[in-house]
Amino acid sequence: MICRPVLTRRGHSHCRNLSYVSNHDNHVHTEVVRAVIERGAGFRFHVSGHSMHPFIRNGDEVVIAPMSSSGPRRGDVVLAIHPHNKNPVVHRIVNKQGPCYLLQGDNRLFADGLVRKENILGKAISVDRNGKTTSMGLGHEGLIIGVLVRTGLFLPLKRGVSIILHSSPDKSP
């Protein structure tokens, strides 16, 4: 008996409407992203996790664009193939060593490891959160953020800013 041909909508916000249950989860398929980027187009998808907090947060939609002709640069937030687990990851380039790039999440103590240029799929250019688009942390300021992340200064700095912002004025005498 032939199984019926089915067209399924896989987007995050539509998967509950499906009449056909897919064996795939909706994670980003590297081959699909690579194919879209090779067309010169951008790619928008949901990210999960907290490793890039505060610039990219759990549930944000990130737009990845093809790399510019000058290639990846220190400070860029990129979609790359993780050097160890081979999953796609959106992290920052914090250093360059020969032909390889050192990746690290802004909210991580340690780097992911070195990736080669061919495993960097594209560059994050904007983030959609609660209907608003931002590119904070994705521009030229990325170079400074990258230095702070690599030297381990970013997390204490972030914590300090967070304490200041969340300290209630009511508690002051």
Partner 1 sequence: LPSDSVVAREIDGDILIVPIRAGIGDAEEELYGLNPTAREVWNRLNGRTPVKAIIDELIHEYEAPPRDITDDVLGLLTELLKRGIVEEASPEGTAGA
**Site residue total, partner 1 (CB under 8 A):** 35
- Closer residue to partner 1 in complex, CB, 61/111: 61
Residue list 119-158, contact with partner 1 (CB under 8 A): none
**Is the preceding omega at residue 83 within 30 degrees of 0, hence cis?**
no
Comparing CB distances to partner 1, the nearer of 2 and 165 is 2
Tell me how far, at minimum, the Cβ of 122 lies from partner 1, in Å.
Answer: 11
Phi, psi of 160 (to 5 degrees): -60, -45
Q: Pattern of binders to partner 1 over 75-114, x per CB under 8 A? A: ----------------------------------------
Instruction: Write the binding mask 23 to 52 for partner 1: x where contact by CB under 8 A, - elsewhere.
Output: xx-x-xx-xx--xx--xxxxxxxx------
Q: How far is CA 54 from the centre of its chain?
A: 12
Q: Near partner 1 by CB under 8 A, which window of 5-13, 129-137, 138-146, 160-168?
A: 5-13
Among residues 96, 122, 92, 125, the alpha carbon closest in space to that of 107 is found at 92
CA distance 11 to 117: 29
CB neighbourhood size of 76 (10 A): 24
Q: What is the DSSP letter of 157?
A: H
Residue 64 and residue 33 in contact, taking contact as beta carbons nearer than 8 Å = yes
- The residues that touch partner 1, with contacts defined as CB under 8 A, are 1-14, 20, 22-24, 26, 28-29, 31-32, 35-36, 39-46, 61, 63
